Structures are given as C-alpha cells and as structure tokens.
Structure 1
Amino acid sequence: MTRPYLPLNALRAFEASARHLSFTRAADELNVTQAAVSYQVKLLEERLGVALFKRLPRGLMITAEGEALLPVMRESFDRMADMLERLEGGKVRDILNIGAVGTFAVGWLLPRLARFQAGHPLIEVRLSTHNNRVDMTLEGLDYAIRFGDGAWHGLEAQRLFDAPLSPLCTPRLAQSLEAPADLIRHTLLRSYRENEWTHWFTAAGVSRPPARTHGVTFDSSLAMMEAAVQGVGVALAPPRMFARQLSSAQVVQPFDIHAALGSYWLTRLKSRPPSGAMEAFEAWLFDEVRLAYGHEA
C-alpha cells in the first residue's frame, strides 16, 4: 500500500501553529502570510482526513488528533535539524552528549577539553552539568561523570580517580589555624552529603570532633568554594578540583590531611552500546587521567 505524500511545508505549518495555537504567530515565525499557513494546515487536514485544530474566534484549539501528531513532528524536525547540523561543511560530525558533576566539569574537564577537540574535530561535545543526580535516559546522555562509589543500577562505571577532601579557606583565615581542632571555632561549609566533616576530623585525629557542624550546606561544591573565597567559612572540598584557586592563592590548604569518601567515575547505560565518538572520548579521558596522575589515580 502506498503511503500518502505529506508536503513538508504543511507539516512545518502545523507544528508551528500547534506550538503557538495561532496561525498569525506561526506565520511570523515562518516568514509567510497568515493565509499561507492556514492553507497549508487545511491541506494537511484534507490529506489525513481529520481535523487538527478547532478554529476559535481568538486563536486555535488543538484536537486529540493534533495532540497525537505534534510530538512526532517535533521529534522528526529535531532529528532533521541535528542531521543537517552534523552534515554542515560537507563532513558528517558526531554528537557526543556528556553530563558531568559541575565541580569536575569546571575544575578538571574544561581546562583539558580543547585538546580533545583539537584531536577530534568532527566530534561535537555537548556538555551539561549536574549535582550528582542525573537521569541518563531522560537527558539523552552518552556518558555521565559523577562522584561516588561506582555502584549505580543499570550503569557500567569506570573509575577515573579519587578525589579526597581537605579543608580550603582564605590565607587570612588560615593564619588562625595551628591545629586541626582549631577549625571547630570557624564556620564549616559542606556539601549535601552528611558527615563529611566528621570523617575528616577522624582522619585528623581530633579526639572530640563536633557532633554536627553548624555551617552552611551547599548543593554544589562550586558555590561552596565561592563562599570560601569570599571568607564565609572553611570549605571541605577536593583540592584536585580547585587547583586554579589554590595556584592563585585565593584559597590555601591549611592541613595536608584528607578524607577519602569516593571517586569520580565515567558511567554509561549498560543498554547503550558505545559509539565511535564515545570510544574516542573514553580513550582520550583515561589518557588525560594517566598524564595527570600516573598510577596514583
């Protein structure tokens, strides 16, 4: 059975009209007349044999049939746009969607990413950040880089390196710190993960660590570090992720004592076979880890 021919202009007119619920605003977007949009939609309705809109005195109301068609049109146009973008310049470019913990993205990945792009000019990296909570399926991610113990259901996880925590604060605040126990007198900044300071005080040999900290809790280590730079308190964060702030002396590490509570991991869905772009990124990423830390990671 031959399927009916559906003109692209009519499909585009429907999709724009459905988003705006207005032929006039759809016409403005498509740079045509309102009459042309109305005609194209009417043509599509006649081809399909169903009404896609109810015409109202002020605007449009989409029908059940239109509601069913709209998400299919949106996905189709998005896929066409992606493919045309990949073909731009006469060469097929691969899209690589990566989600990364904000601290890792800003403090470690971004300073190195230009090297990957230079070596793989036909792979376009699309980077999003998260606070360690991510739905790879919903967000359409090829890889997610996160912090933890590597145990995530349905995911294949490869350890990148440890990121032990240590106090970081302004040089001025550090002048008042002679021993780890002195930190108890200051505002202690921490992430949403509980008991991090308790673990650190135990590692530091403080016999009576505070039962609980009374500082500020952050959902992002980046925000926590900004607070530390501004002198709000002492952050407990991985120095490896804040090398720039340490090298510029915005913050210092008053004690060479660490609490190891997890590692950074490269994760992907077990149901997602790696593409060529994914394999290239994975190989590059682990080369960078070896270059930075050797066998210490």
Structure 2
Amino acid sequence: MPVKPPGPRQPPLNALRAFEAAARLGGFAAAAEELNVTPGAVSAHVKALEADLGAPLFTRGARGLSLTRLGARALPGFTEAFDRLALASQSLRAEAAPNVVHVAALPSVAQLWLSPRLPRLRAEAPEIEISITAMEAPPNLKRAPYDLCLFFGPDPEGRLVQDEILPVCAPALAAQLSNPEDLNRVPCLTDSVWAEDWQLWARVAAPGMRLVPRGPVFSLYALAVEETVNGAGALIGHRALIAGHLASGALVAPFGASVRLPGGLRMFSPRPLRPGTPAARVARWLRASL
C-alpha cells in the first residue's frame, strides 16, 4: 500500500498578511487600519506565526516594534508577493466586472464634489457603474482595489483644481459682517480635518488681525457646510467643494478675499489607465466637468 506522508504545513495566509503589514508599516495599529481588523487581531496573528516558526520576527520594546534579522530578511519577499497578489486580484476584478469603476475619495470630496456630478455622468454613460468608498486618507496604491482616487494633496501630478479657501456664510449672516474683525462676534464653524483653516486664511488675508474663532467643530466637512447654509455660523470654504453653493447663492463670501494654498484636489490611479476603458472614460469626463 503506497504511503503518502503529509507535506510541510504552510503558515496561515492571514498570519503572513499581518506580519507583512506590521513590518512594512512599523506597527500593529497601522497594520490593523490597512487590513481593517483590530490591533489585537494583528498581534495575535503575528504571535501565532512566530510560535509556528519557533523564532521571533519582531523585537518588542518600550519604543515599539523592530524587526529581528529573520523578519528583516523575510519582509521584501512577502511585500513583493502581496503586491503581486493585489495586482492579480485587481485584474481579476476588472475582468469580472469591466463596467464597474471603483472610486476612493475623501468624504467631503465624495459628497460635495463628486456626488453632484454623478447624475450627468450616469446620463451620458449609463452603461458605467460608479462605486464610491469614502476614506480619510489615500489608500496604499499598490494594494488599493480602486480605479480612481480623489484627495487633496500637495503633489501637482493629477491636480484638478488648486485649493483655495475663503470665509463663507448664509446671506442673512453676511449682512452682519462688514469686515474680517466681525468674525470674532459670530460663530465660526471648524472642520476637524482642516482645523488650521481659519488661521491660514487670516494670516494672509487679514494680517495683524487677532482672530479667535469660536464655534462648533465638525468631523464631517459636508455637515459643516450644511450647517453654514442653515445659518449656524461662518465657515472657511474650500472653493472646489462649495462652488455649487456659491453659484446658487446658498452661501456667499462676505469679504471676497481668498487664499490659495499650495495643494489642490487631485485625481490619480493606482495603475495606468488604458485608453477607452470605463475608468479612463470616467477620469476624462470628470476633468472635462470642471
């Protein structure tokens, strides 16, 4: 009777993923955010992998993690392997659903810039389906399962519009504002992501003025915009995101003085867009919509 001995047991794929992400990003918390799990789960996977190997991959200390020699030697191979796996997965997804375009965007961009454009895009290209994921930071481009990304950033490559900020408010509140000093007398709404906007604007547009903005803080810029439309106070508007509100008159710029920031709204892709593909068509359409 033939004997078929069992082959060597392979480490679990999830454990290898946890090790590679933690090693590449420098910690369990960062790896957990990328993998959409808890830091405890990443730690448990790595410990199980180390136990399975019978050797440590990390040195754990008061200042955090550092790779052992074994871990450092292993990392490049696993990073290359998972990059290739991600690319293959993206190609498989694109072939399985060729008319679906996956977009990753900053929440405010998704709600205030992209969403108003979608009805016209659907009318002009009804065969293309747009899937949108809102996230606070750009994804890892080598691993991202997205076709297009829309985020603010300093890199001029892929820039759609320059970032420009200015105070805005509802028309009724604007009647109470004669000069920038009056901002100290009304609620000044603040977005937690762009918490420095008021000071950035004041330093350039109103030098010498002591501005102490007081008012509610919002974790969602789109909500801050809606509350500004409702008359809750003044807000530093990013022109690309509030252009529609300014055009309709729902918001006005009481002082007119705007400040251009170094960065801007960018559109980029994790990989080159082949001409004629749905993703390339959507990218071209969005640029033409400006």
Alignment TM-score, normalising by the size of structure 2: 0.58
In the alignment, the residues of structure 1 paired with residue 223 and residue 137 of structure 2 have an alpha-carbon distance, to the nearest angstrom, of 14
Query: Which residue does the alignment assign to 1:109?
Result: 114
CA contact (8 A) 2:138 2:149 kept: no
Query: Which residue does the alignment assign to 1:274?
Result: 273
AA aligned to 1:169 is C
Q: Alpha-carbon deviation of 1:213?
A: 3.3
Number of residue equivalences: 198
Query: Which residue does the alignment assign to 1:98?
Result: 103
AA aligned to 1:264 is L
CA contact (8 A) 2:104 2:138 kept: no
In the alignment, the residues of structure 1 paired with residue 244 and residue 206 of structure 2 have an alpha-carbon distance, to the nearest angstrom, of 29
In the alignment, the residues of structure 2 paired with residue 125 and residue 250 of structure 1 have an alpha-carbon distance, to the nearest angstrom, of 28
In the alignment, the residues of structure 2 paired with residue 136 and residue 219 of structure 1 have an alpha-carbon distance, to the nearest angstrom, of 25
In the alignment, the residues of structure 1 paired with residue 182 and residue 282 of structure 2 have an alpha-carbon distance, to the nearest angstrom, of 44
AA aligned to 1:274 is L
Query: Which residue does the alignment assign to 2:232?
Result: 232
In the alignment, the residues of structure 1 paired with residue 284 and residue 140 of structure 2 have an alpha-carbon distance, to the nearest angstrom, of 24
What percentage of aligned pairs have identical amino acids? 26
AA aligned to 1:162 is Q
Query: Which residue does the alignment assign to 1:185?
Result: 185
Aligned pairs for 1:119-158 within 5 A: 119-132=124-137, 134-135=139-140, 140-150=145-155, 157-158=157-158
**Gapped regions of structure 2 (runs ≥ 5):** 1-88
CA contact (8 A) 1:202 1:209 kept: no
1:219 and 2:224 correspond = no
CA contact (8 A) 2:106 2:150 kept: yes
Q: Alpha-carbon deviation of 1:126?
A: 0.9
In the alignment, the residues of structure 2 paired with residue 181 and residue 134 of structure 1 have an alpha-carbon distance, to the nearest angstrom, of 40
CA contact (8 A) 1:218 1:224 kept: yes
Query: Which residue does the alignment assign to 1:283?
Result: 284
CA contact (8 A) 1:136 1:144 kept: no
In the alignment, the residues of structure 2 paired with residue 160 and residue 186 of structure 1 have an alpha-carbon distance, to the nearest angstrom, of 33
With over 3 angstroms needed to count, the CA separation of the structure-2 counterparts of 1:226 and 1:118, relative to structure 1, is closer
Query: Which residue does the alignment assign to 2:159?
Result: 159
For residue 253 of structure 2, give the secondary structure of its aligned residue in structure 1: coil
Question: In the TM superposition, what whole-angstrom CA distance separates every residue of 1:220-255 from its partner, at most 9, and x where no partner exists?
Answer: 220111221233221111234224433444332111
For residue 150 of structure 1, give the secondary structure of its aligned residue in structure 2: coil
AA aligned to 1:130 is M
Query: Which residue does the alignment assign to 2:171?
Result: 171
CA contact (8 A) 2:99 2:127 kept: yes
Q: Alpha-carbon deviation of 1:181?
A: 1.6
For residue 251 of structure 2, give the secondary structure of its aligned residue in structure 1: coil
In the alignment, the residues of structure 2 paired with residue 118 and residue 249 of structure 1 have an alpha-carbon distance, to the nearest angstrom, of 26
In the alignment, the residues of structure 2 paired with residue 250 and residue 236 of structure 1 have an alpha-carbon distance, to the nearest angstrom, of 15
Alignment TM-score, normalising by the size of structure 1: 0.57
With over 3 angstroms needed to count, the CA separation of the structure-2 counterparts of 1:134 and 1:173, relative to structure 1, is farther
With over 3 angstroms needed to count, the CA separation of the structure-2 counterparts of 1:278 and 1:230, relative to structure 1, is same
CA contact (8 A) 2:190 2:217 kept: yes
Question: In the TM superposition, what whole-angstrom CA distance separates every residue of 1:75-101 from its partner, at most 9, and x where no partner exists?
Answer: x9xx89x94xx4xxxxxx422100122
AA aligned to 1:145 is L
Question: In the TM superposition, what whole-angstrom CA distance separates every residue of 1:154-182 from its partner, at most 9, and x where no partner exists?
Answer: xxx40101231111112222111111121
